[in-house]
Amino acid sequence: MPLFSKKDKYIRINPNRSSRALPQPKPEVPDELFSKCPGCKHIIYQKDLGAERVCPSCGYTFRISAFERLSLTVDQGSFEELFAGIETTDPLHFPNYQEKLAKMREKTGLDEAVLTGTALIKDQKLALGIMDSNFIMASMGTVVGEKITRLFEYATEHKLPVVLFTASGGARMQEGIMSLMQMAKTSAAVQRHSKAGLFYLTVLTDPTTGGVTASFAMEGDIILAEAQALVGFAGRRVIESTVREKLPDDFQKAEFLLEHGFVDAIVKRGELRDRIATLLRFHGGDQ
């Protein structure tokens, strides 16, 4: 008997190999096709949000651009922009600030964080301001303050009501004390407009915080808000660490402000145009 037996030569065939599926590339889904609702956490097909961008499940209002807001609010073709082209002198020469501004202008199509002009809402003329949180979180710097001040001065001179959609993360840190000065500057313009007996309506949208809240946002004759909008001055964590107390879960939400008398009404986005038109008629409209 041989010491080593000779093994048969053969090829082992994996019977499962033929049935294995080749790896398939993952389908590419565009980022803009779906959105997750911050309110109910549902995944929503973008087209289901509609032009108003409201969650069909819970009614949460997504943030929209100034131009989207404009198309939902004013009579078609009636808007005439005022005070375009004003640019900051960058008083602090803050690093990369000018580059950031240029990037935001290209991204949003705006020259700054607020769009100002005149328009008609159901044939009633008004001075209109719309802040856009897509532009450096609509922080208030010298240009934002100047445009809003000029808007009120124009409205006072031409005896027009003012409607202002607010949204802001607060003062613009890149401009330091110059940005904080805009709080007093805009408030003075609001007061002159009020002394002339003219109507001022504010609509608080998400988010309205910081120096904007502490100035012109809360100075309207009537203050409306969108549902679940964040409205406040300092942030929750700052307040809790200062007062050493746990704040209510709905603290700084529009509903909380309504309950405590800081807001006159919460209005659905789809009803804002009609509500504003009614208030303009009630308060004299185009004078």
- Binding-site residues for Zn(2+): 37, 40, 55, 58
Residue found by looking up tokens 């078609």 in the block:
76
Helix (H, G, I), strand (E, B) or coil at 126: strand
Count, residues in the chain: 287
Cα–Cα dist 129/154, whole Å: 12
Cα–Cα dist 277/33, whole Å: 34
Helix (H, G, I), strand (E, B) or coil at 202: strand
CB atoms within 10 A of CB 107: 10
Cα–Cα dist 198/196, whole Å: 6
Give the DSSP per-residue string, 29-74: --GGGEEE-TTT--EEEHHHHTTTTB-TTT--B----HHHHHHHHS
Q: Which residues are annotated as a binding site?
A: 37, 40, 55, 58
Residue 140 main-chain phi, psi, to 5 deg:
-95, 110
Question: Using an 8 Å Cβ cutoff, are 182 and 142 in contact?
Answer: yes
Question: Using an 8 Å Cβ cutoff, are 55 and 39 in contact?
Answer: yes
